[in-house]
Structure 1
C-alpha cells in the first residue's frame, strides 16, 4: 500500500546504516590490534643485585616505554620457576659467567622472539653474544605453535554454529541440552586429537587438554543457546560479537594478550576464545599453571548461558500455557456436566 512505502524506505536506511557500522566495527576489531600491537607490561624477571636489576629495567623502559614489567628473582632456579608457573615470559640471568636469557616460546612465540631481540641488543652493547635458552619450547612438529593459533576461530565458530544448529533442528529443551553437552565432549576430544596427534602442536596430557577444549566449546555453545533463548535473534548477534567479532582478534593466541593494544588484550581474556586459548596453553604446555583464571572465566560464561537458557525455556513454557488457557473452550459455571460452550437453560422461563 502507498502509505507503507515511507516506513519501508526508513527500514532500508536503518538496515544499510547498521550494516555499514558493523563493517566498520569488524574492520577495526581485526585491523587495529595488529596495527597497534607491541609489548605492554610484559612480565619478565631479572636475576642479579638490585642495582643491576634496576639498570636493566631502566634500559628496557628507555627502549620500549611501558613495554615490560620487570621483577627481581633470587636466582636462576627461581627465574625458571616463574616462567614455568606462567608468572613471567622470560628472564635475564646476570651471573659471573656472563648474562643469559631464559625464554618460553610455548608461552608466546611472539614474546620469545622479542626477548631474543632484547638479548641481541644487550649483547651488542656488551660486545658479546648472550646465549638464549628456551625452557619450554613448542613440540618439534610445530615449533611455532601455529596449530594453537589456528584453533581460535574454529573454537569460537564451532560453539556458535553448534548452538544455532541445535536450536534449528532439535526440539525440546532436554534434547537441546543433551546435544550441547554431547557436542562439547565429542568436539573437545576430536579437536584435541587433531591438534595433538595430527598437527603435533600439543604434547601434554591428552585427556586434560581435551577437557580444557571441551570446557571452551561448552562455554561458547551454552552462551549462544542462552542468549538466543532468552533474547531471541538479538542474542545471536550479541553472541557473534562476543565470540567472533571481538573474541577472535582479541584472543591473543597468535601473539600474547600483552602484545595487543592496552586494555584490549585484557578484554580478550574475558571472552571465550581468549580464555579458551589461555587455558589450553596452560594445560597443554605448563601442567595447568595459571589455568585457574581462564577456567573461571569459561565457567562464568557456561553458568550464565545455562541460567539464560533455563529462564528462556521457562518463559516460553509460561507463554505456551497462557495461550493454551486462552484457547481452551469455556464452560458456563451453571452448565454442570453439559456440553462445553453451550449456555445452560436450566430454570429459564
Structure 2
C-alpha cells in the first residue's frame, strides 16, 4: 500500500511539523522580543508613537515659551531721554527714585534740546522724554505709546508715583499715540504672525499637494502665494476692518517678504531634515521667534537674551519693519529688511545646492507609484 506524502513518516508534513516544534521550542525569548520590536518599528505605530511624544513636548514648550516671555514682563533696560534741569538736586532725586522703582532699569540719555530728544523718539532710540524744569521741581513726561504700549503704560504708572514721593510735579502726555483701531498696539503683531504662519504652512502644502514641482517652480510659487497673501492680509486689516491705516505698498512688501522668508525656511529644513522639517521650523518661528519679536511685549520688557535674539529672526524683523512703517514714517531702518532678506537668500541657497535631497520634484516618484523590484 502506497503511503501518501501527507502520512509518510519522512514526508513533508512530518518533517515540517517536527522542525516547527523544535524551532519554536528552541527559539530564545530574546529573539521573539526582537522580532516584535522590529515589526513595531516597521509598522504604523512607531511614527504615530513618536509623534505623540513630539506633540506633547511641543505643547509644553509652546505654553512655556509664551508664558516665560509674556506673562510677567519685567523691565531690563528702558532707554529714555532727559533735558532741562536734570542735574539739579531735586531732578537727580526724582530720576534716582524712578530707577529704584523700576529696579534700576531706566537708562537716561541727556540731550541738549527737546528737539534732539524728540528726534531720538522718532529714531526709536528712546521710549520717552523727561523734561525737567524749575530746578527739577517739575517734570513733563512725553510718552510714545507707538514705541511700545507696555513700556508707556509702565512709565505712566511709575513716574507720577515717584513724583509724589519726591515732591516733584509730574505731567504726562502721549506725543505719539497708537491708532484708534489698535488701542493695545497688538495689530502689527497679529498681521506679522499671520504672515509667518501662513508662509511656512504654504510651503508645507506645496510639498504635500504639489510634490512634482521642480526647484525653480517651487520658489516661483512661493513668491506667488507670498505676494498674494501679503496683499490680502494688508487689505483685510486696512480696507476691510480699518484697524490700521497702513502705508499700503510698504506694508504689503514687508508682509510678502516675511511670508517668502518663512516659506523658504521650511523648504530649507525640508531639504535638510526631510519629514521632520516641521520641528526646526516650529522652533525657530513659533517657539523662539514670535515671543521674542517685541510685538506683544516691547523688547525692553523681554528677557535680555530674547530681546537681542528676536531681532535676528523673521518674526522680530517683520514686526520691527512693520512697526516703523506704520508709526515712524520716514525713519525706516535697513536692518529688519536685511534680516528677512538674509533668511530668504540663505534658505534659497541651501535648497538649491542640495535640491536633490528635497522629497519633491518630477524625477522622483512617490513610493506607491514606484515599479516593483522584479520588474
Which TM-score applies when normalising by structure 1? 0.82
Question: Which of residues 69, 72, 80 in structure 2 aligns to 1:33?
Answer: 69
CA distance in 1, matches of 2:125, 2:217: 43
Per-residue deviation, 1:286: 0.5
CA distance in 2, matches of 1:159, 1:290: 24
Partner of 1:210: 252
Is 1:113 the counterpart of 2:153 in the alignment?
A: yes
Is 1:94 the counterpart of 2:132 in the alignment?
A: yes
Question: Which of residues 283, 292, 309 in structure 1 aligns to 2:351?
Answer: 309
1:271-294 deviations in Å (ceiling 9; x for gaps): 211111111001111115353222
Per-residue deviation, 1:301: 0.9
SS of aligned partner of 1:203: coil
SS of aligned partner of 1:116: helix
SS of aligned partner of 1:133: strand
Question: Which of residues 302, 308, 314 in structure 2 aligns to 1:272?
Answer: 314
Moved more, 234-243 or 46-55: 46-55
> After superposition, where does 1:120-269 map in structure 2 within 5 Å?
120-125=160-165, 127=167, 130-170=170-210, 171-269=213-311
CA distance in 1, matches of 2:357, 2:130: 59
SS of aligned partner of 1:151: helix
Question: Which of residues 100, 105, 111 in structure 2 aligns to 1:62?
Answer: 100
**316 and 116 in structure 1: CA distance in 2 versus 1, 3 angstrom threshold:** closer
1:31-58 deviations in Å (ceiling 9; x for gaps): 1112442111121111134524754543
CA distance in 2, matches of 1:321, 1:211: 34
Partner of 2:119: 81
SS of aligned partner of 1:88: coil
1:125-177 deviations in Å (ceiling 9; x for gaps): 35565222222212223232232232243222111111111222222222211
Structure 1 unmatched runs, 5+: 324-349
Per-residue deviation, 1:14: 6.1
- Residues 86 and 132, structure 2, Cα contact 8 Å, conserved in 1: no
Is 1:48 the counterpart of 2:107 in the alignment?
A: no
Per-residue deviation, 1:310: 0.6
- Residues 251 and 325, structure 2, Cα contact 8 Å, conserved in 1: yes
**5 and 15 in structure 1: CA distance in 2 versus 1, 3 angstrom threshold:** farther
- Residues 93 and 166, structure 2, Cα contact 8 Å, conserved in 1: no
Partner of 1:22: 58
Per-residue deviation, 1:93: 0.8
- Residues 145 and 201, structure 1, Cα contact 8 Å, conserved in 2: no
- Residues 243 and 271, structure 1, Cα contact 8 Å, conserved in 2: yes
Partner of 2:21: none
CA distance in 2, matches of 1:131, 1:61: 18
- Residues 44 and 88, structure 1, Cα contact 8 Å, conserved in 2: yes
Partner of 1:346: none
CA distance in 2, matches of 1:20, 1:114: 36
CA distance in 1, matches of 2:323, 2:241: 15
**115 and 290 in structure 1: CA distance in 2 versus 1, 3 angstrom threshold:** farther
- Residues 203 and 285, structure 1, Cα contact 8 Å, conserved in 2: no
CA distance in 2, matches of 1:144, 1:38: 18
